[in-house]
A and B are shown apart, each in its own frame.
Chain A
Amino acid sequence: MLVEESIKSAISSIKTNRVRSFLTALAIIIGTAAVIAVIGIGSSASKALEEDIDELGPRTLSIFPSQRKRGGVSSGFNPLVIKDAEALAKNTEHNWMIAPAMSGNRQVKYQNNNISGEINGYLPINFKVRGFDLGHGRLFTDKENLGRKKVVVLGSKVPGELKKSVKDILNQDILIAGTSYRVIGVLEEEGSTGWQNPDDDLYVPLLTASQRIFGTDRLGWINVGISNDTNVDYVMMTIEEILRQKHDIGPGGENDFRINDWSQFSDLRRQATGIFTALIAGIAGISLIVGGIGVMNIMLVSVTERTREIGLRKALGATHKSIMMQFIIEAVLLCVLGGLIGVFIGTSLLYLFATFNDWPFAMPISAIIGSITFSALVGLFFGIWPAKRAAQLDPAVSLRYE
C-alpha cells in the first residue's frame, strides 16, 4: 500500500508540473530516442546486408583478371579466358559451380525504342550462382550455348525500358547491336546489390556473347559458387593452383588474377557497422546521463518545494525509508516515462529511415528493454541524493517551512 501511495504521489507530482516534468525528461527522451534509433539502424543495416548476401545465393568467390608484374614492372593486363573457366570446371574435387561471364554495353532496339543495355554473356549455371529467379518464359540451355544461339533473357526492368509489357516482348525478336535475338525469358525483379543492378541487364549465352557480340574470349570475371560449409581457403588454393598452371606462372611469380570472397567483405562491413553502432549508441548514452543530472536538479527543487509536505508525512509517521522511496519512485518514473517516449520516437525514426532506404525494419527487443532499464537506473542513481535530502529533513522545522 505504501508503494502504491508513492506511485500515486509521484504521478500526481509529475502531472502537477507537466511542463517542467516534460522539459526535465526531454534529455532522457532525446537520449533514449537516439540510442534506440542508432541501434535499430545498425541492426537494420546488418540485416539488409545479410539479405544481400542471401540474394547472392550460395557463397560466392569471384575471380578477376589483374595486372601481372615481371620484376616489379607492370606488364599490362593478363586476361581471364573461357579456357580458364573450362579448366576450373573440370575439377570435381570441390563440387563448385563455375560461372564465367563477360559483359559490355550494346545498343538494344525493339520496334521504335532504343536503349543502351548491359549485355552479359552467361552460362545457364550463372543464374543459379547469382540466385536469379525466372519470372516468365525460360532460361537458355547448355545446348543453346554450345550452338551459339541468338537467344536472350531480359532483366525485369528491360521490357519497361523498351516500352513494352512482358507479354508483348516475350518470344519476339529484339535487335542487339543490329542483330536480332529471340527473347525467351524475363527474370524476376532481383533488386540492386549496390554495385550492380541485374534488373537492367540482358543475358545471352556465353559463347554467343563471345563470338557474335564481343568477338573475344576474354572474361570479365568468373564467379565460383561454393556451398556454405566449404573450406574457403582450400578452394582458393585450388583455384590459384589451376590458374597459375594455366597461365604458366612459375614459382615465385605473382598471380595475374585476384580472388574476392564477398562474404569476407560482408563480414568486415558487418563488423564495421557493429563498431560504429556501438560507438554512436555510447555517445547517445552519455546524453542519458546528462539527462539524469537534469532529473536530479529538478528533484532537488521538488524536495525544497515540498518541504512542508515532507514534514507533514513525517509527522504522520513516514519513516526515512518511505520518504526516500517516494522521491526515488518519482525520479525513476520520470525517467522511465521519458524512456518510453524516447523508445517510441526512436522506433518511429528507425521506421522512417528503414522505409526510406528500403531496408528491413529490425528493432531488437533487447535494445528497447535495455534502454528503458538504463533510464530507470539513471532515475534511481540520480534520485538517491535528492531523496536522501528529503528523508533527512527535520520534521519539526519542515512543518513550519514557508
Chain B
Amino acid sequence: MIINVKDIKKSYTVGTQEVNALRGINLSVEKGEFISIMGPSGSGKTTLMNIIGCLDTPSSGEYELNGSLVSKLEDDELARIRNKEIGFVFQSFNLLAKNSVLENVMLPLKYAGFEKSEAVKKSNEVIDKVGLSDRLAHTPAELSGGQQQRVAIARALVNKPSIIFADEPTGNLDSKTGKEVMTIFKELNASGQTIILITHEESIANQSNRIITIKDGLIKSDNRGTHD
C-alpha cells in the first residue's frame, strides 16, 4: 500500500466563516494503480490532492505514505518527501519560462542534491522517454502545449517518484494532444507507475482503472475496473 488515508478532515477559515473542505476521507492506494479523482468545483478534490501530494497538511486524521506517517511533518520534511516521492503535473504546465527543457527537467534533481553530471544523465533519459530529445535547449515558449506538458511529465518522472499527481493535465490542451498526453500516462502506468489524476472530464477519467468521486468533502463513489 502506497497511500493510506484515515479519516482526514480539513477546514479553513475564510473571513469569519469556517469552511469544511474535507469532512472525513478514507482512502488507500496500491502500487501501480491509475486513479482518477472527480468532482465538481468546490467539492474538495483540490484540497485532497494538496494533502496527499504533501503540499498541505490535514486538520485532523492520519496519512501514511509508503508506510511512514506524513500528516504531522514539518515544511522542510514535506519538501523532501515531495522531492523524492511525488511528481506533479499541472494544468498550466508550470515550466520556468527562462530555462531550457533540460534545465526544467533537472530542477527536482538540483533540490535533491545530485551532482550535475548525474542530473544531466537522468534528465536526458526521461526526456528521451517523452520523445523530446531533439528539443533539449529549447525554452518552453518555443514548444507547443503538448510538448510543454511532456516536459512537465519528464520533470515529474525524473526523480523516480512513487506517485505521479496530475491536476487536469489535459485541461489546457486540444483533444488530440490531450489524447497523446493520456497515452503517455497509460504507458507509464503499464510499466508500473502509480498515477493519480484529477479531472472533471469523464472521458479522461474513464481511461483510468479506478474512479473516485468527491462531493461536499466526502467520497461519494469509488469504482474499480471501469476500464480495461
A residues engaging B (CB < 8 A)?
1-2, 4-5, 12, 16, 308-309, 312-322, 394-396, 399
Contacts and interface: CB of A to CB of B under 8 A. Distances in A.
B115 A314 contact: no
Contacts of A314: 55, 79, 82
A314 B53 CA distance: 12
A12 B96 CA distance: 11
Given A1-B119, A395-B55, A396-B50, A317 B79 contact: yes
B179 interface: no
7 contacts: A2-B113, A315-B88, A316-B108, A316-B111, A319-B79, A320-B76, A395-B55
Nearest to A320: B76
A10 to B, nearest CB: 11
Given A12-B98, A317-B111, 7 more contacts: A1-B116, A314-B55, A316-B107, A317-B79, A317-B80, A317-B84, A322-B111
The secondary-structure label for the interface of chain B is: helix
B72 interface: no
A319 B56 contact: no
Interface size, B (range): 20 to 34
The secondary-structure label for the interface of chain A is: helix
Nearest to A317: B83
B187 interface: no
B84 A316 contact: no
Contacts of A321: 76
Interface of B: 50, 53, 55-56, 75-76, 79-80, 82-84, 88, 90, 94, 96, 98-99, 107-108, 110-116, 119, 155, 159
Contacts of B88: 315-316
A395 B53 CA distance: 11
Contacts of A395: 55-56
A320 B75 contact: yes
A309 B119 CA distance: 21
Contacts of B75: 319-320
A314 B83 CA distance: 9
Contacts of A317: 79-80, 82-84, 108, 111-112, 159
